[in-house]
Amino acid sequence: MKIAVSSTGKNLDAKIDPRFGRCQYFLIVDSETMNFESLQNESASATGGAGIQAAQTVAGKGVQVVITGNVGPNAFQTLAAAGIKIITGASGTVKDAIEKFKSGELSEISSATVGTHFGSGRGMGRGMMPMQQPIQPFMPTQMSEEQEKQMLKNQINGLEQQLKQMKKRLEELGGE
C-alpha cells in the first residue's frame, strides 16, 4: 500500500511534520517493502491554497493513505474526494508512524482536525472560526462511475461536517 507521510526530512528517521499542507517533505512509502520516495512539498511556501495543492500532489502519486499530524478542511475535502484515507495525530518518526498504522494503532478521521491557515501562522486567533467555503476537489482525469459516486458521497460528508461545525459555533455565540 502506498502511504504519504508529512515529514520534516527526507528519510524514514525524520520526524512527522504536524502540518499537512505546509510540511517540508512527503515521504511516499510502500508499507510492505518500506521502500520510499522523498518528495519536497512545493506548496509549503504558497501564499494560499497550500492544503489543496499538497493534497493534489499526493493524490497524483497514487497514495491510498495520508499520515500526518493535522489536516485542515480544504486539504481534508480534497483528499477525501480522491478516496484517500486520512490519519492524523501521528508523531515521532515516519518509520514509527508507518509501523503504528500497520499495527492498527492509528485510525482514520472523518473531518478536518484544524481550521484553515493552521500551519501558515495566519490563524484567526481568539477562538474565531473561519468561514469555510466548499472547494472543487482534485478530480482524476478518468473516473469510473463507482469512483464518482464515492467522491460525491465524500463531498457530501465533508459539507455535512462543515455545517455541524458552523451550527455548533453559532450556538456558542448565542445564535440559534
pLDDT tens track for 95-137: 999 999 999 988 888 778 776 655 555 443 334 334 343 444 4
- Average pLDDT along the chain: 80
Q: Walk me through the domains of the chain, giving residue ranges and CATH numbers.
A: 2-120+134-172 (3.30.420.130)
- The pLDDT of residue 24 is 95
Query: Apex CA 140: angle with CA 62 and CA 34, to 5°?
Result: 5
Q: What is the largest CA-CA distance in the chain?
A: 53
In this predicted structure, what is the pLDDT of residue 120?
Answer: 53
Per residue in 22-32, pLDDT tens?
A: 999 999 999 99
Query: Do residues 106 and 90 make contact, with C-beta atoms less than 8 angstroms apart?
Result: yes
d(CA 20, CA 24): 9
Listed in sequence order, the residues at least 6 apart from 41 whose beta carbon sits closer than 8 Å to its beta carbon are 6, 22, 23, 24, 25, 26, 54, 57
